[in-house]
Structure 1
Amino acid sequence: MQYNMETITLFILAILASGIIAGLIAGLLGVGGGIVLVPVLFYLFTLLQVDESIRMHMAVGTSLSTIVATAISSTRAHLAKGSIDIGLLKSWGPWLLCGAIAGMSVFGAVDSGFLSIVFAAVTLMVAVYMLFAKEPTQETTDKFPKGVVRGLLGLVVGGVSSIMGIGGGTLSVPLLTVFKYPMRRAVGTAAAIGLLISIPGAIGAFLSGLGNPNLPPFSVGYVNLLAFIVLVPVTGFVAPYGARIAHAIKPVYLRLAFAAFLLFNSINMFLSVL
């Protein structure tokens, strides 16, 4: 495909639209926006006829790079609302960080189609859980596992989230609600978790793609700089508004919105692989 001015303009407009949606969802659901950005970027790279072997890698890497900025903005907004569990972050954060580093250490060697299936399968499972989960009746946050179990959960969440190109909220929000975290506190804490996962994830995607001959224009490693430049200011600006909405609506609506977005993206990604 020829990358003429019309193609580039359409690409930028599509990125702008997805950035607005991703920013709102990042603040609203604490998911870093990757759950929206990865499928959108994957479809855009498909339309641009980016080599099939690296389409998902490009979508994941570009998503992770933008999540860094989105997570900072979203975390600040939730921190101001007092909805981030700092104690949990101190004990769980190192494990999440190690998991993200481990995931990105094998990222470059993983087949693009396999990455797509992982993305679709994990989001489908989480969507089904969130759709039928019940909101905790008591405001309690002391049931989350400690010790080795907490560490293993951190490794899994960090590793899977990094290779999916998401900030961790997609997995950590439902996981926290399983252990009776109130939805708003889970969302706020997940925003900060996204920052821990996206930084090593973005660095790993950048390094693992260096020198690949199939990279599309404006790309360094598995990060598309054009998409990054467009997305960062948009998602960073919009994310605080999503956080405000999260504190203004009932938690049950927050959970159902989360499930609906996950289900939509999962189905679309499965269809793209078939």
Structure 2
Amino acid sequence: MSGLAVSDVVELALLLVAVGALSGFLAGVFGIGGGAILVPVFYECFRIAGVPLEVRMPLCVGTSLAVIIPTSIRSFQAHYRRGAVDMSILRMWWLPIVIGVVAGSVVARYAPERLFKIVFVCVAWSAAVRLILAREGWKFGEDLPNGLLMRVYGFCVGILSTLMGIGGGLFSNLLMTFYGRPIHQAVATSSALAVLISIPGALGYVYAGWPAAANYPAVAALQVPFALGYVSLIGAVLVMPMSLVTAPLGVRAAHAMSKRTLETAFGCYLLIVGSRFVMSLVGGL
């Protein structure tokens, strides 16, 4: 890790372990897979490590998707045991979501770095406004639609989640609450969608990152060994263990909160992480 002192390496490692604990907890609380916190923090870590700006954001997104795999499985299992997951939604959405993930991986191979930030900010802030200023009258309908529209929703969840490096909870939570579903059910079902998104999404970013690794030697090694395309295996290994430990704790906390408290907490969090990337788009950091 050229250019970094041993103390810097230790500091980065400890930060990633702490982030793993927090992302796992949030995966359980919000059903988001933890990606909405992982991407901003990975961004800071990779900036310190000297990863080129042109590829830093997709590297964060790909690594986040890899970390989400075990976290989302653990979170889904905990919610499923409580009987909170709507399996009918999964049966309708699984194929459109996977198709969306594949499309997002192809876009990631060719898209400019700024696109990832713009998508992250637009979606995070839109969801935050809906959650913080929620009104009972803000609905698309009394229940989720059937047929083509529902499958279009699934495709959009897949492609946007892949470009943001998240497990799909932002979109599925938003959609389900707009159609009158309880936030607790939305969170639980989103944890299952994260499994569908994270596995093919991480593989897609390995594929998408090969050309970048050839052009940017720092990406091929991430200033440390063991990076595959846009996935840093070192970052993933440091974050995963603690996220697995804390995900069930987050599930317990989610079911102990009131609907309004859960919505407000989620909305405030999204405003904060979206603001970080606005600063990056304006200042180039």
TM-score range, shorter chain: over 0.9
Shift of 1:271: 0.6
C-alpha distance after superposition, 1:108-141 (max 9, x if no partner): 21111221121112111111111112469xxxx9
Q: Supply the RMSD in Å over aligned alpha carbons.
A: 1.5
Q: Tell me, which stretches of 5 or more residues in structure 2 are unaligned?
A: none
1:196 aligns to what SS in structure 2? Answer: helix
Q: 1:262: which partner in 2? A: 270
Give me the whole-angstrom Cα distance separating, in 2, the residues matched to 1:119 and 1:23.
20
**Letter of the aligned partner of 1:157 in structure 2?**
V
Shift of 1:3: 3.8
Q: 2:197: which partner in 1? A: 197
Contact 1:135 1:183 survives alignment (8 Å): no
Contact 1:135 1:251 survives alignment (8 Å): no
Q: 1:166: which partner in 2? A: 166
Residue 258 of structure 2 corresponds to residue 250 of structure 1:
yes
C-alpha distance after superposition, 1:130-159 (max 9, x if no partner): 1112469xxxx9710110100111111110
Contact 1:135 1:182 survives alignment (8 Å): no
Contact 1:66 1:228 survives alignment (8 Å): yes
The runs of at least 4 aligned residues of structure 1 exceeding 6 Å deviation read none
Q: Tell me, which stretches of 5 or more residues in structure 1 are unaligned?
A: none
Contact 1:135 1:252 survives alignment (8 Å): no
User: More deviation in 62-71 or 7-16?
Assistant: 7-16
Shift of 1:97: 1.2
Give me the whole-angstrom Cα distance separating, in 2, the residues matched to 1:107 and 1:46.
20
User: More deviation in 114-123 or 59-68?
Assistant: 114-123
Q: 1:144: which partner in 2? A: 144
Shift of 1:210: 2.3
TM norm structure 2: 0.91
Q: 1:30: which partner in 2? A: 31
Q: 2:63: which partner in 1? A: 62
Shift of 1:50: 0.6
**Letter of the aligned partner of 1:251 in structure 2?**
K
Shift of 1:101: 1.1
1:209 aligns to what SS in structure 2? Answer: helix
Q: 1:12: which partner in 2? A: 13
Q: 1:80: which partner in 2? A: 81
User: Aligned residues: percent identity?
Assistant: 34
Contact 1:69 1:236 survives alignment (8 Å): yes
| Matched residue count | 270
C-alpha distance after superposition, 1:8-34 (max 9, x if no partner): 211111111211111111000000000
Shift of 1:96: 1.1
Give me the whole-angstrom Cα distance separating, in 2, the residues matched to 1:172 and 1:135.
18
Give me the whole-angstrom Cα distance separating, in 2, the residues matched to 1:7 and 1:159.
35
Give me the whole-angstrom Cα distance separating, in 2, the residues matched to 1:4 and 1:195.
37
Residue 237 of structure 2 corresponds to residue 236 of structure 1:
no
Give me the whole-angstrom Cα distance separating, in 2, the residues matched to 1:193 and 1:134.
26
Give me the whole-angstrom Cα distance separating, in 2, the residues matched to 1:269 and 1:10.
23
Q: 1:99: which partner in 2? A: 100
